Structure formats: C-alpha cells, structure tokens
Structure 1
C-alpha cells in the first residue's frame, strides 16, 4: 500500500485534524491529492473544475488591467494558480488560516500548483478570512485599509454548510456589507459552493451588491462515471 498511498502532511487545528494525502488511483491511472478535515473530504485534485472556474468567472467580470485580487482559502491551490495565469493580475493575497497548508505550497508538494508561492505577485497571509472581515482588519497585513478589485472565496462547503459556526455571520447582509467595504467600486465578490444555486442566498447578495449571478459549473465525475455540479456566485459591488 505504501506505493499507492502516502500521507504527506497532518496537523491538529482548532477546527479539526487537517491532512494532505496522495494516492494512486489504479482504475484512472492518476495520482490523486486529497485534503481531509478529520474524516471529511474537503477537496480532491480529481475535481478542480469549479475551483478553476471560480477564478475565471470572477476575473472575467472585471475590466481593466493591474488587478489586485484576494483568494480566501488556499487549499490545493487551483483558484490561486488560475488567478495568477491571468496577466491582468498585478497582486494576489491568499488568506489561509492554517499555516501547514501554506507550507504545503512553499514546499511545492502539489505539482499542479508549482510556482504559486514563489511568484513575486503572491502574498500568502496566514489569517482567518472571516475574522479579517468581521473585525475590519482587511486582508493585507502590511496595509489594513487596502481595497481590492476581486475577492474569490472557497472555504466553506456552501453558505448553509459551513466548516465552523463562526463563519455563518459572513453570509448575512451585514457580513457581506463588511466584505464589500474591502472592494473597489465595481469590484467583484465570487464564491464557490458545493450546493445548487440557493435562492435565499441570492436574495442576500441582491440586498448588498448591485448585481449577482449564480453560475452552475458542471464537470464529469470519474468516480461515478456521471456528471457533478457546483455553483459559483459572482456579485458586483
């Protein structure tokens, strides 16, 4: 089993034990990287499409160059890596609560995210994204009042299914108004969700942002042989 499975990293955190695993899937013939929180799967390199589309859809909604972008939640790095592939991105602040996750990328344990940490545009900020919004401290530790053109968030499973109860307040009108205060005029907030479009949450977005849209991102599921879908919300200030 050693050649087919390896636990690359493990750490007990305030929200549970976070681990990074690599395994060989003999049926698919690929190396699979997975992140778990205790016994729950958070993400897999088998399903990167929606995380990639989070960056693409969020940035496609912006015009102009010299974009300053925040990614909330580093994970396997697909969203951040895709953001850097956009030549208009001038700077990228990635806010990640778990130091070990940042270390995975500094050690380049994830080949598909190679170069992310070393890119001179990237700042990996060890912080709680939700606390930074609630407390008003902002996302750049060197410039607390800094505003951004886009905030791309992928931490919770969905606005209704959060990883920690302290995150729930973010998905209210009050929480999103605080987030909007960190955006430039006409800035964009984009959010990944594992659930189908949620009409109630779309109503919350509509109460805060000028416009919003829920994109259903469909992708083949190699485990079931069928199709799966996630949602990406994109809202303009």
Structure 2
C-alpha cells in the first residue's frame, strides 16, 4: 500500500523551508500530520505521548490552579492543548496560556484550523498565540509589571545538544537557565522536551540553577518500527527568591 501525501502548506522561513503535510500511514490505518524543516522531520501527530507528558509532568510539579503558563514552541499544538485540558480535583489547572513561536506560518496553521487540535486551542479564551523568538524573550529581563509564569514548558529544539538554530545554544547553559528563571514565579517550574536520552551534563546545569531537577524517560509504542521509542522530559523547580509564605 502506497502512502498518500497532501501538502497543506509550504513556507520559506529564516530557519529553512517549512512544510506541513498530511498523509495516510498504513502502519496505523489513519491520517497523520507531519512538519518538516528543510530535510529534517520536526514532529508528527503519530507520536504525541511525550509532547503531552511535557505539559502533564510540568504542571504536576506546580500547585494550585489558575496558573499562568508559557509554552515555547507551538508545533502541532499537543503540548499546549494538554496544558489547557489539565485538571486538579476537577478544576482546570491553567488560567492563562501564552504560546510563543518564532514562525508565523505555524501560528497561521492553527488560526486556519488545519490541525486536529487547532480549533480547541484557538477557541479557548485562555490561549494567546504570540509570534516571537522564545530564546530572545528569555534573554531579556521580564517587564517590571510582569506577574511571572508558574510554569514554562519548552519544546523547540531536538535536545539541549541538538538545536534547530545555533543561537538557541546559550539558553541551555547555566547563565541561560538563570535568565529563564527570572521569568518564573518563586517555586515556578521549568520543563523541557528532548528527543535524546537524559544528558548528565545538562542535568548538572539544571541542578546548579534549580531545585528538584529530574529527567523522566517517556516510553511509547512505535507503530512504524513495531518497537518502543523514548523521549526525555526534564522538570525543575525554581528556587524561592523571597521569603516563604
């Protein structure tokens, strides 16, 4: 059986040619959506377990409800929608969700309802989609009137060592993590998706800046290979900078 491909969008971007396509996948018997940047596969709706775990594990490390959450990287939208769906004792965990993506084309895909979760994401009044460079935003100090984020969930690069753009690399250093930490409330949570196994050097960076840093290995069935694949979700809690209340 030959897979049928349909190109839904193609855009030239500063990072390379960006393509959104839909195709039949014989191994699973239904349509899947894929994103390519140049010759690299960025993401697929066939594998969303770890992207959703990024939201659930990150939010599990917070407390309370009505949280102010930032997602770096929109992609197919599964991390953002998992955050919107998250509940604690029957109460929605997230009060406001900001999603930053550098590529305007990706935001337009969702505004055009091209992807399976687009309508749920865009129609939720808690959602704000922002076209900006997440890494540049994290390098800047937060505005003086900013309330701070209870959680920052990041899924842009393949891993701390394998970045889509060399300019992203500085974020994964100790100084970069400290810059990001300024955007969190006291005790706020930073969580990161990675396609690589847990990285001991990066864990050392996290533990030098944050408290309670952990690397969670997320296993999921791979219908294409017939085996099991794994991703990593790092979760770390910001150290309290003020008095305990």
- Secondary structure in 2 matching 1:111: coil
Find 1:123's aligned residue among 125, 128, 137. 128
> What's 2:204 paired with?
203
Cα gap change, 1:48 to 1:152, in 2 (>3 Å): same
On the 8 A contact 1:11/1:18 being kept in 2, the answer is yes
Structure 2 Cα separation of the partners of residues 173 and 58 of structure 1: 20
CA contact (8 A) 2:3 2:26 kept: no
Matched, 1:61 2:81: no
Kindly indicate whether residue 72 of structure 2 is the aligned counterpart of residue 72 of structure 1. Answer: yes
Q: Give me the TM-score of the superposition, normalised by structure 1.
A: 0.95
Check the 8 A contact 1:78/1:113 in 2, yes or no.
no
Tell me the CA shift for residue 29 of structure 1: 1.1
Residue deviations 1:6-62 (CA, integer Å, cap 9, x gap): 110111111101110000113421101000001110000110000000000000111
Kindly state the Cα deviation for residue 135 of structure 1 after the two structures are TM-superposed. Answer: 2.5
Q: Gapped runs of 5+ residues in structure 1?
A: none
Output the CA distance in 2 between the equivalents of 1:44 and 1:135.
Answer: 32
C-alpha distance in 2 between matches for 1:144 and 1:230: 36
Change beyond 3 A, Cα 1:197–1:116 = same
| Counterpart in the other structure of 1:170 | 171
RMSD: 1.7
Distance 2:71 2:227 in 1: 30
Asked if 2 retains the 8 angstrom alpha-carbon contact of 1:159 and 1:193, the reply is yes
Q: Aligned residue for 1:190?
A: 191
- Structure 2: give runs of 5+ residues left out of the alignment: 87-91, 239-245
In structure 2, what is the equivalent of residue 14 of structure 1?
A: 14
Evaluate the alpha carbon distance shift between residue 12 and residue 137 of structure 1 in structure 2; reply closer, same or farther with a 3 A threshold. farther
Question: What corresponds to 1:214 in structure 2?
Answer: 215
Question: How far does residue 144 in structure 1 lie from its aligned partner after superposition?
Answer: 6.8
Please, which moves more after superposition, 1-10 or 29-38?
1-10
Mapped to 1, the partners of 2:222 and 2:128 lie a distance apart of 33
**For residues 173-209 of structure 1, what are the alpha-carbon distances to aligned partners after superposition, in whole Å with 9 as ceiling and x for unaligned?**
1000010000001100000000000000000001100
Deviations 1:107-160 (A, max 9, x none): 11112343201210000010000011113357xxxx873411000000000000
Assess if the C-alpha contact under 8 Å between 1:152 and 1:189 holds in 2: yes
Match of 1:234 in 2: 235
Map of 2:100 onto structure 1: 95
Q: Is the 8 A contact 2:174 2:208 kept in 1?
A: yes
Does the 8 Å contact 2:9/2:21 carry over to 1?
yes
Are residue 105 (structure 1) and residue 110 (structure 2) matched? Answer: yes
SS at match of 1:56: helix
